[in-house]
Amino acid sequence: MKYIILSFMLFGNAVAGTLTICHDTNFALCESSIGHPTGKMITVMGANGVKSQYPEMAVNCPIVKGDSVAFLETGTMGKSCVSKDKNVVYSLWSPIQIFPQEGNAYSTKNIRVQKAEIVKCPTSTANTFSQCFSMACKVGKVINGVPTADCLCPQNTNIEETAAVPAGTAYTTAAGQFNHNGGDVCAMNPVGGAP
């Protein structure tokens, strides 16, 4: 995910939204979480200023504090890094790699269980992903002492939220901790992105 965002920052087209750095804020860090289909559609604002609908995924993410990258006025987020609603945080991106992982029930007992693990998911019709960059999330439960957020995200979209990515496209995710129990995270709708 970080390579996709960095590439977009460096080589992306002119857009309607504003790519910005958010300093010292609470945000949902979803890059290591998985999505669950809700059976509904979600409407998001693309970087081109056009609203589109995609299949909706429910994603639970840890809330962390620090600096992050946001794409203001895209997805379902507003014009600011911080929501006016104290029960809403935004799903943003950060380069940190050690944070509580959904794949380990948000355990904080050691660094190993908190390390994001990058997985390159190959081209396969079984593979789909959730795209959670710049989405509004409701503050959720505290799990194992970690505050979490419940996010609604589109499935299989590009990072600009301007186009669908065909199911089966190869993509990258940081949710590799889900593979430790014999699973295949690539078939679990993890948060990720296609090049």
Band (pLDDT 50/70/90 cuts) for residue 16 is low
Q: What is the pTM of this model?
A: 0.89
Lowest pLDDT segment from 43-47, 123-127, 160-164:
123-127
* CA 118 – CA 177 distance, rounded (Å): 9
Cβ atoms 41, 156 nearer than 8 A: no
Pair of tokens at residue 69 = 């990258």
Task: Note the pLDDT of residue 11.
Answer: 32
Can you give the pLDDT at residue 18?
79
- The model's pLDDT over 105-115, given as tens digits with 9 standing for 90+, comes to 999 999 999 99
Question: How much is the pLDDT for 127?
Answer: 82
How large is the C-alpha radius of gyration of the chain? Answer: 15
Read off the pLDDT of each residue in 161-182 and give the average, rounded to a whole number: 91
Sheet holding 192-193, edge to edge: 119-121, 171-173, 192-193
- The pLDDT of residue 2 is above 70: no
pLDDT of residue 15: 42
25-103-93 Cα angle (round to 5): 30
